[in-house]
Amino acid sequence: MRKTTIARRYAKALIETGQETGTSKEIARELRDISAIFLSNPEAMGFLLNPMYKLEHRKGLVEKICDSLKISDIIKRFLILLVQGRKVGGFQDICNEYYRMEDEIAGRIRANVESSIDLTDNLKTNIKDKLQKLTSKEVILTTDKNPELIGGLVIRVGNMIFDGSVKTQLERVKARLKA
C-alpha cells in the first residue's frame, strides 16, 4: 500500500509539472524510453539501487543515460531525485501510475482482450466500439492469444474482468457436478 501511495505522489507531481510546462506528452515518451532501458538492462537498475556505489557514480549513470537518449532536464532531475531518495526501485510503479493518470485526464481506458485464436481486425473494431459505448470513453485495445482458453474471450477493463471463455465455463460445470 505504501509503495502505491508513494508512486501515486511522484506520478501526480510529474503530471502537474507536465501540465504546467505543456510537456505531458514528452514526459510520457521519455518515461517509456527510460523504462525500456531499465527493463532491457537490469544491471543498470541494480547499479542505481545499490548503496555500495557512491551517489556521484549513480547520478553519473543517470546523466549518461539521459544525455544519450536526449532526455529533458525535468526527467533527468526527477531520476536523480529518485536515486538520491533511494526510491528508484519504484520507478516502474511511478511510470504505471503516470500512464494511468494520463489516461484518466484524457478520458481513455485501456482494455485487454485475451482469446484462443488471433482476432480479426473487424472483430477487434467491434469489441472496441462496444466497450466505448459501455464506458463512454476512448478505448485503447490490446489483444493476447492464449490457446488454453479453448474458445471465447476474456476482456479486462480496469479492475473488471468479463470472462466468456470455454475454459471457465467448463470449470463451472465441473464445480457444479462435484457439488
- pLDDT tens-digit profile of 79-137? 999 999 999 999 999 999 999 999 999 999 999 999 999 999 999 999 999 999 999 99
Length of the chain: 179
Q: What is the pTM of this model?
A: 0.78
**Whose CA is closest to 110, among 92, 91, 96, 90?**
96
Q: Using N-to-C axis directions, what is the helix angle for 55-69 and 73-84, rounded to 10°?
A: 160
18-77: pLDDT as tens digits: 999 999 999 999 999 999 999 999 999 999 999 999 999 999 999 999 999 999 999 999
